[in-house]
Amino acid sequence: MFTDLDLSLYDAAGILGVSLYLGSYGALQLGWLRANGNRYTWLNLVAAAMVLTSLTRDFNLFAAVIQGSWIVFSIVGLTRRWLARKRLTFSVEEEAMLADRFPFLAPLMASRLTRRGHWGDHEPGTVLAREGEELGKLIYLASSSAEVHRDGRRVAQLQPGDFIGEITVLHGGPATATVRAAGPVRTFTIDRAPLLALVNAEHEIALEISAAFQRESNRKISRANAALGATA
């Protein structure tokens, strides 16, 4: 015979489990969680465990099988992602770029981003973007600097860590200025098509790309204002 306290605890476990199920699914539909993310899996695992606990009072075989299977599949998914993360490796320059421009990107998402781009070296004077022409890619300046020219006049200088093409890469359009390597330059480049595919498929990457572009814009505006203040 269960006591009143037992009954209330079992009921609370069931209510908590149902709340976690509904809350995690609602968060998924609202874009707050990813279906292939650990947080969503953990919420479902705990929800299944709570509901299974509540079934120990009024046992139902079919419901118990469903909740037990949910727990097993969740553990399998978490283990698979953990093993995948263990196999991930990044070069020193990839780690530096990710820490600098995409600091909140999970390792699996970071790997998907870096695998779709390529690193390259450019001689001094190499034109990385030409004013009025379609660029169609995002370029990360990993080393040295680059000069920005508009209408034949030098208007700015890019530093290591700056992006080239962040204004046009997602929505298209011609480059707003010509960018020329000031010295031997090392870059990471990702073309528009694979970048758009990632942004459309992975909500986490889309958010991080958007945040990175916003930080880039603020960074360049602050630098431009400082330069204007110095010449005033």
Tens-level pLDDT at each residue, the chain (232 residues): 445 555 578 888 888 999 999 999 898 888 787 777 788 899 999 999 999 998 888 888 888 999 999 999 999 988 888 877 777 789 999 999 999 999 888 888 899 999 999 999 999 999 999 999 999 999 999 998 999 999 989 988 999 999 999 989 998 899 989 999 999 999 999 999 999 999 998 888 998 999 999 999 888 888 877 766 666 5
Same-domain status, 38 and 105: no
Q: Which CATH number belongs to the domain containing residue 136 in this structure?
A: 2.60.120.10
**Number of domain units in the chain:** 2
Q: Is the pTM of this model over 0.75?
A: no
Same domain, yes or no, for 221 and 111? yes
**pLDDT confidence of residue 147:** 94
Query: In the listed set 61, 87, 113, which residue is the last one of a domain according to the structure?
Result: 87
Residues 13 and 71 in one domain: yes
Q: pLDDT at position 197, please?
A: 94
120 and 215 assigned to the same domain: yes
Length of the chain: 232
187 burial (CB, 10 Å; 0-12 / 13-18 / 19+) is: buried
Of 68, 87, 106, which one is at a domain's C-terminal end? 87
Range of the domain at 127: 92-231
Distances 228 to 163, 218, 222 between C-alpha atoms, Å: 21, 15, 10
Among the three residues 87, 122, 138, which one is the final residue of a domain in this structure? 87
3-state secondary structure of 94: helix
Whole-number pLDDT of residue 6: 53
156 sits in which H/E element: strand 153-158
Q: Are residue 26 and residue 121 in the same domain, yes or no?
A: no
Give the Cβ contact number of residue 49 at 10 Å: 19
